[in-house]
Amino acid sequence: MTNRSRRDFLIKTTGAAGAAALGSFGFPAIVQAQAKEWVIGASLPLTGPFATAGQLGMPGIIDFIAMTNDSGGIGGKKIRGILEDSGYVAIKALANFKKALAEAPDLACYFGDSTGFMKLVAPELNSRYKIMTGSTSFASELANPSTNPYQYVSGPTYQDMFGILLQHVADKGGKRLAFVYSDTEFGKDPIAYGRQRAKELGIELVHEEITKASGAEVQSHVAQLRRADPDFILMHGYVTGVWPAIIATARAFGMKSQFLGTFWAMEKVIADKISAKVGDALNGYMGVLPYRYFYDRKEAPAYQELDAWNKANNEKYPGYLVTWYLQVRMTMNLWKKAMEITIEADKPVNGDNLMTSLASIKDWDSGGFFGNPVSVVSNKIPQGRVYAYNTENKLFLPKSDWIQV
Amino acid sequence: MHIGNARSSYQADEVMWKRPAHKGAMLLIILSLLILPFWVGPYHLMLMSQLGIFVIAIAGLNILTGYTGLISLGQGAFMGIGAYTTAVLATGYGFPPWATFPLSIIMTALIGIGFGLPSLRVRGLYLTIATLAANVIIVFAIRKLEWLTNGDRGINIEPAILFGFSIESELEKYFVIAPLALLFVLFSQNLFRTKIGRAFIAIREQDYSAEIMGISLIRYKLTAFAIGSAYAGAAGSLWAYFFTALTPNQFNLSQSILFLAALIIGGMGTTLGPLFGAVFVILVPETLRAIAGLITPYYPLALQATAPITEIIYGLLIIGFLIFEPMGLSAIWARIWRYIDRWPFTR
């Protein structure tokens, strides 16, 4: 390439990029002038470390919009979604949030991708924007109406999950316990509570192992756990990686400890994939899930509806929807319920009224997502169930009844 | 048409705006910076404010890396020191912004000097690794000093109050950040017309030769670290008031890498390099997303494919610029001006 053609190339690409950037500056005003509808925004980690969860969870919100619109929308108005990738970067998610606001200043709801985003957006949400905001997070501090009045958690918090699991350990006569968690805000969330609760239940916390959230040097961590020799090992702060490798390596090292986990590390697809590689290492792996697994849809009309809709509309539908999809969907269902209560009460749709409506939800039938009727307490739904993975039938099967925290 | 450099004094050689057209262009840019905020929406205002913060941080890195030749991978973490100093002083001790801002600059400069000490013994890649370690240490310290920083849970800060006004809206934030960014860029431009700036350049070209000429390497290398870090501290302080919620993850290694990449793309050792670099790293992903966004309203699931593809295109664009214009975007800018100055005799 000659110097001149290089220059031409650069001038043309710079010009094209500049023109497109200038074009994007004019975009919001056009959108604002469009017909009235409920606009919801969402940031999902479609790239970055949690891309798998984001990619599989995103259809949850897209299907929600399509299904709700097919059935006439909410209060006669259709829903429009403004979805963006966050790459699991909180600042990027905040930019997405503000971009959605620029496009639709009367945003009815926002779905965030992480605890980091929820914390970052909280000050402005409280003081200026006042928009009902759900997320992928079950962080304990989000379920606090006095400090986070516009944020909600679509299930129990991580502390609640720890509480359920620790009670299970105590009930099983567990005496020696270890925590394994990622060195992230996500990983550390319930740890202080877990230490205190274990003490209260008379369980000795013999070891704490902190790992990277992904790409951890698993063997050295497992060697430490082996030395501590706990009866139960409670893991937290992982999504697709680390936790299966820790269990598989521990079994290879001959460890007999019972492994326990929380929501994001309870996905059947991951367990199946690991089991295909390492045999029955994950057999008996146990954890808390707020919702039913999708294959358990006999008593869940909402799941049956999702199944029928996907069969009719999704050519690649494998007959199973991942837990991450269900989490996104339930977050949106809660917003829909709050919307319906607000509209029925003939109140204006805004963050304050929506959150008041959400807080008023009592003994609501969630269509089988949750086993017990849903009551919102402190902007969360404190119930869940203990499941254990069975490598023979490749299913997480219930090991407890539905537990109200 | 400009056909020669007939300067008769050293002062004439040192003028900041060498041609009337340059002065005109600068006035036009300042005028745009004043008018544009009233035309765009809050989202684009947010991007412009973020751009201002990035320009300050990258200008600091430019002093250190572009002008003094000390490659640093710690600028993101230094920005974190500035941000956390502001947050701790404001929330813990009730300091007002006019106090937290300079104190954050001073604190970051002092810590920058500490981490600059290895530069007295090592250079090039070795120094890069030392600054990388600084990044890791600083972020680790922020996370572990929970009693001070609230660790991974992060720290919230009230909006800045200046002259009785609470700086909350995007427009208000912009009008605080943009003039400061301009001032910091002008300061760095002027710095290289002084003895200190020339000493930096001499060190960059060959530090041993500079020392033989009487330039104290200890003094000037550490000064470069102090000034570069001070810029990061200023950017961090503004960052704290801009986002009002801090977590250690905001200042991890990827932020430092982003700043260094922006500087290389913009053009190292030039005044406008940081500005072009910041514009590139903020606007190009934005533009790519805007283009990808044209599809998603009609086919929402396309986002699953377009999101990773835009990341790949962004990476390829960076590689493309490095291959086709290793001197950075400011070299293109200089060529455009050369073309205008010499028209119609330009080839």
- Please give the full DSSP string across A267-321, using - where no structure is assigned: -HHHHHHHHHHHTTTTTT-EEEESS--TT--TT-HHHHHHHHHHHHH-TT--S--
Inspect the interface and report whether the beta carbons of B44 and A94 lie closer than 8 Å.
Answer: no
Q: Are strands B245-246 and A204-211 parallel, antiparallel or unpaired?
A: unpaired
Name chain A contacts of B304, Cβ cutoff 8 Å: 46, 55, 58
- When CB atoms are compared, the residue of B168, B250, B289 closest to A91 is B250
User: How distant is the Cα of B338 from the closest Cα of chain A, in angstroms?
Assistant: 13
Name chain A contacts of B76, Cβ cutoff 8 Å: none
- When CB atoms are compared, the residue of A24, A85, A90 closest to B307 is A85
Domain limits at B28? 16-252
Q: How many CB atoms lie within 10 A of CB A387?
A: 23
The Cβ-side half-sphere exposure at A303, using a 13 Å CA radius, reads 22
**Mean pLDDT over residues B327-332, rounded?**
90
Percent of chain B with pLDDT over 90: 59
Query: Which SS3 state, helix, strand or coil, does residue B6 take?
Result: coil
Query: So what's the pLDDT on residue B228?
Result: 97
Query: Which SS3 state, helix, strand or coil, does residue A73 take?
Result: coil
**What is the band of B124 on the pLDDT scale with cuts at 50, 70, 90?**
confident
What A94-97 contacts at long range (C-beta under 8 Å, 24+ apart), as own/partner pairs, is A94/A120, A94/A121, A94/B243, A95/B43, A95/B46, A95/B47, A95/B50, A96/A41, A96/A43, A97/A41, A97/A43, A97/A121
| Cα distance between residue B126 and residue B118, in whole Å | 9
Name chain A contacts of B320, Cβ cutoff 8 Å: 13
Q: Which of A94, A144, A131 is nearest to A114 (CA)?
A: A94
Mean of pLDDT over chain B: 90
**Mean pLDDT over residues B43-70, rounded?**
95
Residue B124 included in any domain: yes
| Cα distance between residue A80 and residue A94, in whole Å | 19
Inspect the interface and report whether the beta carbons of B308 and A46 lie closer than 8 Å.
Answer: yes
Residue B194 included in any domain: yes
Inspect the interface and report whether the beta carbons of A90 and B44 lie closer than 8 Å.
Answer: no
Mutating which of A6, A37, A55 best tests the B interface, going by the most B Cβ atoms within 10 A? A55
Query: So what's the pLDDT on residue B347?
Result: 61
Residue B192 included in any domain: yes
User: How distant is the Cα of B9 from the closest Cα of chain A, in angstroms?
Assistant: 35
Q: Which residues are registered as beta bridge partners of A43?
A: A84
- When CB atoms are compared, the residue of B283, B304, B324 closest to A6 is B324
Amino acid at B15: V
Inspect the interface and report whether the beta carbons of A123 and B156 lie closer than 8 Å.
Answer: yes
Q: Which residues are registered as beta bridge partners of A112?
A: A135
Query: So what's the pLDDT on residue A27?
Result: 38
**What is the band of B22 on the pLDDT scale with cuts at 50, 70, 90?**
confident
Inspect the interface and report whether the beta carbons of B304 and A6 lie closer than 8 Å.
Answer: no
Range with the poorest average pLDDT among A294-308, B6-20, B112-126, B169-183: B6-20
3-class secondary structure per residue, A370-390 = CCCCECCECCECCEEEEEEEE
Residue B201 included in any domain: yes
Residue A288 backbone phi and psi in degrees, to 5? -100, 135
Checking if the pLDDT of B115 tops 80, the result is: yes
Instruction: List, as one string, the DSSP characters of A120-173.
Output: HHHHHIIIII---EEES---GGGS-TTT-TTB--SS--HHHHHHHHHHHHHHTT
Query: So what's the pLDDT on residue A240?
Result: 78
Tell me if chain A has a CB within 8 Å of the CB of B245. Answer: yes
- When CB atoms are compared, the residue of B154, B296, B307 closest to A119 is B154
Burial label for B337, CB within 10 Å (0-12, 13-18, 19+), is middle
**Mean pLDDT over residues B250-256, rounded?**
92
Inspect the interface and report whether the beta carbons of B290 and A91 lie closer than 8 Å.
Answer: no
Cα A90 from chain centroid (whole Å): 15
- When CB atoms are compared, the residue of B249, B311, B335 closest to A47 is B311
Checking if the pLDDT of B165 tops 70, the result is: yes
| Cα distance between residue A70 and residue A77, in whole Å | 11
Inspect the interface and report whether the beta carbons of B303 and A59 lie closer than 8 Å.
Answer: no
Range with the poorest average pLDDT among A318-322, B106-110, B292-296: B292-296
H helices, E strands: number in chain A: 14, 12
Q: Phi-psi bin for A74: left (phi > 0), alpha (psi -120 to 50), beta?
A: beta
Residue B289 included in any domain: no
Inspect the interface and report whether the beta carbons of B156 and A81 lie closer than 8 Å.
Answer: no
Q: Strands of chain B (E only): list them.
A: 155-156, 161-162, 165-166, 245-246
Inspect the interface and report whether the beta carbons of B152 and A24 lie closer than 8 Å.
Answer: no
Name chain B contacts of A5, Cβ cutoff 8 Å: none
Query: So what's the pLDDT on residue B133?
Result: 94
Inspect the interface and report whether the beta carbons of B249 and A59 lie closer than 8 Å.
Answer: no
The dihedral through the CA atoms of B88, B89, B95, B96 has a sign that is negative
Q: How many domains does chain B have?
A: 1
- When CB atoms are compared, the residue of B152, B249, B287 closest to A188 is B152
Domains and their CATH numbers in chain A: 35-156+293-374 (3.40.50.2300), 158-289+385-404 (3.40.50.2300)
Query: So what's the pLDDT on residue A13?
Result: 39
Name chain A contacts of B290, Cβ cutoff 8 Å: 20-21, 23-24, 27
Q: Which residues of chain A have pLDDT under 50?
A: 1-35
**Mean pLDDT over residues B16-24, rounded?**
77
Q: What residues contact residue A29 under an 8 Å CB cut-off, 6+ apart?
A: B41
**What is the band of B346 on the pLDDT scale with cuts at 50, 70, 90?**
low
Burial label for A392, CB within 10 Å (0-12, 13-18, 19+), is exposed
Instruction: List, as one string, the DSSP characters of B153-182.
Output: G-EE-PPPEETTEE--SHHHHHHHHHHHHH
Residue B40 included in any domain: yes
